[in-house]
Amino acid sequence: MSSATWRNFFTYNKYAQITARAVRQSLKESERVVAEKRGTTALKYQQWENGVGGPQVLLNSEEGKK
Amino acid sequence: MSTLRLLSSAARRAPSALAQQRRGYAEVADKISLSLVLPHQAIFTSTDVVQVNLAAATGDMGILANHVPSIEALRPGLIEVVESGNASKKWFASGGFATVHPGNKLTINVVEAAPLESFSSEAIRANLQEALKVAAGNGSEEDKMEARIEADVYEALQHALGSK
Boundaries of domain holding A56? 5-65
Are residues A27 and B153, on separate chains, in Cβ contact within 8 Å?
no
Digitized pLDDT (tens) for each residue of chain B, 164 residues in all: 555 555 555 445 544 444 444 445 555 678 999 999 999 999 999 999 999 999 999 999 999 999 999 999 999 999 999 998 888 999 999 999 999 999 999 999 999 999 999 999 999 999 999 999 999 988 898 999 999 999 999 999 999 998 75
Which residues of chain A lie closer than 8 angstroms to B96, CB-CB? 16
- B118 CB-contact burial (10 Å; exposed 0-12 / middle 13-18 / buried 19+): middle
Number of domains into which chain A is organized:
1
pTM of the model: 0.77
Please spell the DSSP secondary structure of A31-62, one letter per residue.
HHHHHHHHH---EEEEEEETTEEEEEEEE-HH
Are residues B95 and A19, on separate chains, in Cβ contact within 8 Å?
yes
